[in-house]
Amino acid sequence: MPHRNISYRQLFVVLALSCASYGNYLGHDELERRQIDPGALKTAYDYIVVGGGQSGLVIANRLSEDPTSEPSHMLVLVIEYGTFDNNPAQLDPTSGEKYPPGDLFNVTAVPQPGIGNRTGTVYAASVVGGGSTINGMLFERGSAEDYDNWERLGNSGWGFSQLLPYFKKSTKFNTPVDPAVVAFGNITWDPSVYGTDGPIQATYPPWVWPGTKIQLKAFNEVGVPTQFEAAGGKSYNAYWVPNNVNRTNYRSYARSGYYDPVKSRPNLSLLLNYRVNEVLFSKAKHAHSARIQARGTPNGAPTITVGANTEIVLCAGWLHTPQILQRSGIGPKALLTAAGIPIISDLPGVGSNLQDHPPAEIRFSYETDVFPNPTSSAQTNATFAAWVQDEWTQHRSGPLSIPTGNNIGAIPLTTMNPTGYKAIIAKALAQTPAAYLPKTYTAEQLAGFVEQRKILTASYQSPTNGIFEVPFRGSGSTALCLEKPMSRGTVTLQTTDLYAEPIIDFNTNINPVDVDLTISAVRFYRTWMAAPSMQQLSPAEVSPGTNLTTDAELSTWVSTSMGTSTAHSCGTAAMMPQKLGGVVSPELLVYGVTGLSVGDISMIPLIPATHTCATVYAISEKAADLIKARAASGYP
């Protein structure tokens, strides 16, 4: 039976304290319209969505929408640790490169032996709308093979053809506003792979740096053809990517698309500045309530218990979904025992299988760059700089309308390293899996990794899947991002303080195959810079430097240059069969219990070769349908 163990008087004190922190942005009226105050919490809801980030808002919207076939009058509560970011600048494209510290968890990874023992950068959003509120707005999908690989891992229903309807449902494509820019960039698109009225808008900006065209042509010259619409499952080779902004270049994100339009629904409530501590279970291991605590209160401070009549959906992101599971008694037995937590379901995969796209910064300068260019024109030419400002303030157009860029090369390994890829694959397959995996991996998890490796090495020889990402927009420098790493990391509860941030270990480059792949990418980048069309820009290598040529030299460079994250962390509550170390089923239900599912990026079993935002919309749209379907068919 759900109960409260805090008085209303205490609650109002807590509310008053927490309001003070965002009073700058929110007037009292607005607060009341958008947010429920903790004193108004009901004893129980039908659904509790844990985390009002990107996926949480999608699921909350769909569960509270007009019922056609599902039970009506479902009450949905979203509990979010962060608050609204109402800073108008956060809607501008330039916000895509300046992540506000107030909207992020302040955490770092432990020292990473694979990259010279440097500590790793960690990105985990903490704001209504989550990652979609602060991200770079580069809005692309993976190739069909990325999702078909999920299905190959034992997840029926998750191949690209079954996900495409959800990619579409979440989007609306806008024809670019400036035909001259379309013609200049030869930007093409296929409206049939987007939705016509989805909540999230996909738009090309009214500006293209001329150097981009030269880079695209140079790609074509070194065996990387242009893909004339990548979003239909063809995001490999070189292609254009829209941004998630609307037609006047304002951020289009989970809050604007999925929350603001429906916030007046009486059956949808959003509680801010509360942390979900644990999910609580009945004797029959049914998840029946969530224990929550006001943000900023110390360990042992009062908590509230809110009931969930139907289901609790975890959407707390890759970092906290596994932490909440572990705190609730679902996770690796040894860890839970060490933390003194009674075991509800021994799932060793909770917090393992962490993947990201580690970036290595490569730098070339263009000695005879075109004008205008993104590297120096605004710095060296005051007339141009003034025009850029003017274009933006008067028309929301020009270079400042681009968030992070619109072109990507996603290069197959067979293109990057045609003579060496077979040796890399052979090396990967010859490894003893346990040699490079976290020491905590069980036999099931090792078996799961062997399955993943089979699929990954097939992708390493596929011409239709990118193994390295080369984002480009007219500059000679970029971050080479490893799209399909072999290394696996962990998120682990601190056994001495369950409410402290968990221990994060990406294990970046711990598997030497990842280093081989990165060296292949560096050499291929040099080949690209040597392409005939590129010569008009006179590219000069700055880093690694032309004197670094051998595998050993480049390997040292990789270990000093590679980072841990492109903010695409995922995989920590993976959808895989339980006998392969999985945490959730293809219905996204957590193994060993009932009434509990995962709807966020944690469920990804293998990281796709793409920026992850569009994929998270598709996952959470599908998650909502799965949840509705089981409600309609009646629970066991």
Ligand X SMILES: *[C@@H]1O[C@H](CO)[C@@H](O)[C@H](O)[C@H]1NC(C)=O
Ligand Y SMILES: Cc1cc2nc3c(=O)[nH]c(=O)nc-3n(C[C@H](O)[C@H](O)[C@H](O)COP(=O)(O)OP(=O)(O)OC[C@H]3O[C@@H](n4cnc5c(N)ncnc54)[C@H](O)[C@@H]3O)c2cc1C
Find out whether 349 and 593 touch, Cβ atoms under 8 Å.
Answer: no
Q: Is 188 in the site for ligand X (CB under 6 A)?
A: yes
In terms of Cα–Cα distance, which of 318, 198, 314, 208 is closest to 253? 198
How many whole angstroms separate alpha carbon 339 and alpha carbon 319? 18
How many whole angstroms separate alpha carbon 371 and alpha carbon 583? 52
Binder of ligand X out of 86, 121, 365, 381 (CB under 6 A)? 381
Residues 88-107 that bind ligand X (CB under 6 A): 91, 101-102, 105-106
Q: Which is nearer to ligand X, 148 or 229 (CB)?
A: 229
Q: Which is nearer to ligand X, 216 or 336 (CB)?
A: 216
How many helices (H) and strands (E) in the chain?
19, 20
Query: Which residue reads 């979440």 in tokens?
Result: 170
Of ligand X, ligand Y, none, which one sits near residue 246, judging by CB under 5 to 8 A according to partner kind? ligand X
Binding mask 218-237 for ligand X (x = CB under 6 A): ----------x---------
Q: Is 383 in the site for ligand X (CB under 6 A)?
A: yes
Q: Which two tokens stand for residue 525?
A: 């980048």
Of ligand X, ligand Y, none, which one sits near residue 558, judging by CB under 5 to 8 A according to partner kind? none
Give CB contacts under 8 A, 24+ apart, made by 284-289.
Answer: 284/594, 285/344, 285/345, 285/592, 285/593, 285/594, 286/593, 286/594, 286/595, 287/311, 287/312, 287/593, 287/594, 287/595, 287/596, 288/2, 288/595, 289/2, 289/44
* Residues placed in the known binding site: 127, 276
Q: Is 296 in the site for ligand X (CB under 6 A)?
A: no
CA 372 to chain CA centroid, nearest Å: 32
Please state the closest distance from residue 271 (CB atom) to ligand Y, in A. Answer: 9
Q: Which is nearer to ligand X, 245 or 330 (CB)?
A: 245
Q: Is 387 in the site for ligand X (CB under 6 A)?
A: yes
Of ligand Y, ligand X, none, which one sits near residue 116, judging by CB under 5 to 8 A according to partner kind? ligand X
E strands present in 97-219: 171-174, 200-203
Of ligand X, ligand Y, none, which one sits near residue 613, judging by CB under 5 to 8 A according to partner kind? ligand Y
Q: Is 196 in the site for ligand X (CB under 6 A)?
A: no
Q: Which is nearer to ligand X, 37 or 553 (CB)?
A: 553
Is 568 a catalytic site residue?
yes
Q: Which is nearer to ligand X, 67 or 374 (CB)?
A: 67
* Residues placed in the known binding site for FAD: 127, 276
How many whole angstroms separate alpha carbon 203 and alpha carbon 177? 9
Q: Which stretch binds ligand X (CB under 6 A): 110-118, 390-398, 482-490, 577-585?
A: 110-118
Residue 621 phi/psi, 5-degree rounding, is -65, -45
How many whole angstroms separate alpha carbon 343 and alpha carbon 327? 10
CA 436 to chain CA centroid, nearest Å: 25
Number of residues counted as binding ligand X (CB under 6 A): 35
Residues 452-491 that bind ligand X (CB under 6 A): none
Please state the closest distance from residue 243 (CB atom) to ligand Y, in A. Answer: 8
Q: Is 175 in the site for ligand X (CB under 6 A)?
A: no
Find out whether 291 and 97 touch, Cβ atoms under 8 Å.
Answer: no
Binder of ligand X out of 342, 547, 634, 636 (CB under 6 A)? 547
Could you tell me whether strands 171-174 and 200-203 are parallel, antiparallel, or unpaired per DSSP bridges? parallel
The stretches of 497-636 forming alpha helices (DSSP H) are 512-529, 551-561, 613-633
Please state the closest distance from residue 403 (CB atom) to ligand Y, in A. Answer: 7
Q: Which is nearer to ligand X, 39 or 67 (CB)?
A: 67
Binder of ligand X out of 545, 549, 551, 560 (CB under 6 A)? 545
CA distances from 478 to 156, 261, 475, 547 (A): 37, 38, 7, 20
Residues with active-site annotation: 568, 611
Residue numbers of the site for ligand X (CB under 6 A)?
64, 66-67, 72-74, 91, 101-102, 105-106, 113, 116-117, 126, 186, 188, 228, 246-248, 250, 256, 265-267, 371, 381, 383-384, 387, 545, 547-548, 553
